[in-house]
Amino acid sequence: MKRRKLIIDTDPGVDDAFAIITALSSSQFEVKGITTVAGNKSLEYVTVNAMKLIRLMRADCKVYPGSIASLKDLESATGELKDAGNTHGSDGLGDVDLSFDEATRSDTHAVDFIIDTVRQNPGKVEILAIGPVTNIALAIRKEPEVMKTVKTIWSMGGGVHRGNMTPVSEFNYWFDPEAVEVMYGIGTDVDIYMFGLDVTYNTFFTMNDLFFLRQEGGEIGRIMYDMTLAYAGSYWSNRRITGAVIHDLVPIIYAIDPGISKPEDVYRSALTVCCEPGLTQGQTIVDLVDRFNFTKNAYVVMNADSRRFKELFIEIVFGDVVDLYRKFVRS
């Protein structure tokens, strides 16, 4: 089988780790490289975390460090460097003890790696965008015509009816709204799928699900369970949810099997993002039902079959133990 070419643009991140592990386990994808961006933690932390995941999975690809801050913060000399605090543990990966191989860090900048890979494979490269989209925006600004030949961008961010940074804004899009605007600017040429908080909250992992990974997932399952504990702790403290929303896993599972969502849950829509500082920074404004006749530049995925989503993840990463999950685990 000819494998699909994938770049993972990411800020790992516990939920990023689930997505990366899944992409590296799937026979559908050839992961061309992992590009990193400041977001959940500073660029150095997330780059090291990506290298740790490559080593854990014994993957044959490199990490390409990218942007240290959002477009706006990169432009202002005094820009503060934001991150997600300790939501993902103090190192961004749940403080689990993992080693990495320095040789997997490339000297090539993420933006150049993205452009070169797309240029060499026009119409063929898919990008899994699970952090702030700063690298993607910089690549579009530098080489717009090349970037218009990206096949698909699978983007975790935004939300139609929900927020997690403010009541209406999600973290990735809040972090760099100007970059989001640039990205959806090529949404008439490239298929860009938005997986916002509406769909991700409908697929959350219960403690039963996480416990199953620990019991039946071997070494990788135990590590995933351990790295998720602090992250799950923040869901309990902030929202009284027992479990965790593994946001970044949703786009990669959908990319593998779009059948997890019903066709009527995927909207071809016009999408804009609010860039002004304040409560609405990063808010996505989506004309779901085409009421206002704006130019459509996004596919917005609003729901997914949670059970099928989790079964697929377990099957891809852990294989046959999915039968045990199907039979015995009630989410």
DSSP string, 179-202: HHHHHHTTTTTSEEEEE-HHHHHT
Nearer to ligand BDR, 170 or 198 (CB): 170
Question: Is omega for the bond preceding 159 within 30 degrees of 0, making it cis?
Answer: no
From the list 104, 117, 164, 283, which residue makes contact with ligand BDR (rule: CB under 6 A)?
A: 164
CA distance 328 to 323: 9
- Min separation Cβ 38 and ligand BDR, Å: 12
Closest CA to 64 of 111, 132, 119: 111
Please list every residue from 154 through 213 that binds Ca ion, using CB under 5 A. none
Please list every residue from 16 through 35 that binds Ca ion, using CB under 5 A. 16
DSSP 8-state symbol, 264? G
Pairing status of strand 266-273 against strand 298-301 = antiparallel
Please list every residue from 226 through 255 that binds Ca ion, using CB under 5 A. 248
- The residue type found at 258 is P
- Min separation Cβ 143 and ligand BDR, Å: 25
Please list every residue from 240 through 269 that binds ligand BDR, using CB under 6 A. 247-248
Binds 104, which of ligand BDR, Ca ion, none (CB < 5 to 8 A, cut-off by type)?
none
- Min separation Cβ 9 and Ca ion, Å: 10
From the list 6, 9, 13, 66, which residue makes contact with Ca ion (rule: CB under 5 A)?
A: 13
CA distance 181 to 174: 11
Closest CA to 229 of 14, 81, 63, 21: 14
Interface pattern 21-40 for ligand BDR (x via CB under 6 A):
-------------------x
Determine if 84 is a binding residue for ligand BDR (CB under 6 A).
yes
Please list every residue from 101 through 130 that binds Ca ion, using CB under 5 A. 130
Residue closest to ligand BDR when measured from CB atoms = 171
Closest CA to 307 of 216, 206, 215, 229: 206
Determine if 155 is a binding residue for ligand BDR (CB under 6 A).
no
Determine if 126 is a binding residue for ligand BDR (CB under 6 A).
no
Nearer to ligand BDR, 130 or 321 (CB): 130
Determine if 130 is a binding residue for ligand BDR (CB under 6 A).
yes
- Min separation Cβ 280 and ligand BDR, Å: 16
58-81: b (≥16 Cβ within 10 Å) or e: ebebbbbbbbebbbebeeeeeeee
Interface pattern 166-185 for ligand BDR (x via CB under 6 A):
----xxx-------------
Q: Which stretch binds ligand BDR (CB under 6 A): 61-69, 137-145, 165-173, 296-304?
A: 165-173
> Do 4 and 123 touch, CB atoms closer than 8 A?
no
- Give the containing element (helix H, strand E) for 9: strand 4-10
CA distance 37 to 11: 5
CA distance 46 to 63: 10
CA distance 76 to 255: 36
- Min separation Cβ 10 and ligand BDR, Å: 8
Determine if 14 is a binding residue for Ca ion (CB under 5 A).
no
Residues contributing to the site for Ca ion (CB under 5 A): 11, 13, 16, 130-131, 248
Residues that bind ligand BDR (CB under 6 A): 13, 15-16, 40, 84, 130-131, 156, 164, 170-172, 247-248
